A and B are shown apart, each in its own frame.
Chain A
């Protein structure tokens, strides 16, 4: 249910240590990761499968499921708790099937055979330990804060200084104040189990996408850790206990005025390529050009390092979401993290390099920002 807030599909990836579920939203600005260790399950049996076409033994069997087809299995938690004695999950990769079986009271057995597709799950590469700002809070408190915002509230701004923490409705220059009700919650650092603010910052993220994790963490009563940096860099909400961990990593709005690194006429792009670990990097650079700001994004969306270039001109859209760094899930997970900032950099100042325009990505960005753009 929590992941359903992010996307329509998720990847189901059993590995030796446990079961990983991952999901990314369509604009690549939110990533959910939930990992159930094998100890979470009463019985966990996982076997490696080797396929002759792979150079090395394939250790993981990730596949993709549509959330709409899985949700009915776990529809009413209350009803499940009352009636279901056991739940068993089996994967059959050859048939592309995952079977969920609910063994209920009175001998009733509900079997759900769901089709799945092989996939290469995306994994957000985000160095939590490098974040200057870390807050740790009981999920009840977080829920008590978010309840003051209307359920329709899309974006929320978190503003911190060493002295105070403030959550407020997001507003921008052209917000119609005469029509919008604004809410602001101010908290004392004392209310947090752990409070570290290395740099004053104001980050804006999508509340709707977070609500899934809020509900999930409240159910587990595990404290939520919030790792973040300055605006533009992602914010991570995570919970961790002995048998499970979950992270929701959300992109934050990049405030053009506050950005210091992109100015003038220079734009820099990075292309990354490292063997069979590929990276998806989406970020925005700006070029000030007379009277409008031009945002360009370079997006590498495919394992085969297919560069899709999205460039769009947007007069009204001053703020853009910074997307997340993604890496392929592979056994070399450690490498992925250490290679975060590795690049075979190619500086590029001209537009000629950005030949292919990915219409699909443009339309999803357009939808996200509701602004007109000319291609």
Chain B
């Protein structure tokens, strides 16, 4: 098992750091899956996470100048590691004007991702900062836990409003209630509702647009026959929603959510070279 990668371009480094920062806000611990062409940050839907799950996919070519990976075995040319993304975020935080950042899988006292940052300095030779981030190697028998989640059979799919606006609305609602209802219909309308004994607050968004989903068998029967005005809704934990919204540092190219009435809300945030899927189950 070998892994070495290098980032030289500052813009790429910056972009990569921002992705890691977002992941760090969403998960305390997650799996990092390395393949020849991609990196995945995966959080599987265990009870400990409150049932949320996350799938984040990056094309290594868009970030790394050098990327060499040798998996556990020839037929399974992949590496699965368990790590604390906050550590990686911290290591990259002070590397923002680095000459180069190298990441390597090592095993000194225990398996580690060694992040070596070469910083410019006043003297002739550079300053080297090394961070050893402990990781756990996930054995092959557990790889099935980290499969890509399938898009659920949703009732409504709708584009999200401007995330900054949505975040500030949800932030204020968080002070009043622990759960929030997201409802949307196929006419581009979405409502965020909270209800307590004393007060209920609803924020209405309209003209959001509904993404067209080309289905495999040619017809998405559940949505096509659906009444355009009818709302699909799910009540979810407001803090999980806020974690997702607050972690976004850059506006995504596309942001949408799929609602399975009373079951789950599936968020998809797409940037040029990163895709992030986040599932929040509905509360009982």
Contact = CB atoms under 8 A, between A and B. Distances in A.
A51 interface: no
A148 B134 contact: no
A42 interface: no
Interface stretch (A182-190, A261-269, A270-278): A182-190
Interface in B113-130: 121-125, 127-130
B110 A185 contact: no
A54 interface: no
Contacts of A181: 87, 90-91, 131-134
Interface in A173-200: 177-191
A187 B94 contact: no
Nearest to B88: A181
A187 B121 contact: yes
Interface of A: 141, 147-148, 150, 177-191
B141 interface: no
Contact of B121 (A182, A184, A188): A188
Contacts of B128: 185-186
Contacts of A150: 90
B172 interface: no
Contacts of A148: 94, 129, 131
Interface of B: 87, 90-91, 94, 108-110, 112, 121-125, 127-134, 136
Contacts of B121: 187-188, 191
Contacts of A185: 127-130
A182 B127 contact: no
B110 A178 contact: yes
B130 A191 contact: no
A182 B134 CA distance: 9
B134 A190 contact: no
A184 B133 CA distance: 12
Contacts of A179: 134
Contacts of B132: 181-184
B110 A191 contact: no
A186 B129 CA distance: 6
Given A177-B109, A177-B110, A185-B129, A191 B134 contact: no
Nearest to A147: B94
Contact of A178 (B87, B94, B130, B134): B134
A150 B136 CA distance: 22
A187 B134 CA distance: 24
| 8 shortest interchain CB distances as A-B pairs | A190-B123, A177-B109, A182-B132, A186-B128, A178-B110, A188-B125, A184-B130, A181-B87
Given A148-B131, A184-B131, A188-B127, 4 more contacts: A186-B128, A186-B129, A187-B121, A191-B127
A177 B114 CA distance: 13
A191 B124 CA distance: 9
B134 A180 contact: yes
Contacts of B122: 141, 190-191
A186 B127 contact: yes
A190 B133 CA distance: 29
Contacts of B94: 147-148
Given A150-B90, A183-B129, A186-B128, A177 B123 contact: no
Nearest to A186: B128
Given A177-B134, A181-B133, A181-B134, A188 B123 contact: yes
Contacts of B124: 188, 190
B125 A190 contact: yes
Nearest to A184: B130
B131 A183 contact: yes
A177 to B, nearest CB: 4
Contacts of A187: 121, 127
Contacts of B109: 177-178
Contacts of A191: 121-123, 127
A374 B125 CA distance: 51
A297 to B, nearest CB: 32
B90 to A, nearest CB: 6
B130 A183 contact: yes
A194 to B, nearest CB: 14
24 contacts: A141-B122, A147-B94, A148-B129, A150-B90, A177-B134, A178-B136, A180-B134, A181-B87, A181-B90, A181-B132, A181-B133, A181-B134, A182-B132, A183-B91, A183-B129, A183-B131, A183-B132, A185-B130, A186-B127, A188-B123, A188-B124, A188-B125, A188-B127, A191-B127
Nearest to B90: A150
A203 B54 CA distance: 44
B77 to A, nearest CB: 26
Contacts of B110: 177-178
A340 to B, nearest CB: 36
Contacts of A177: 108-110, 112, 134
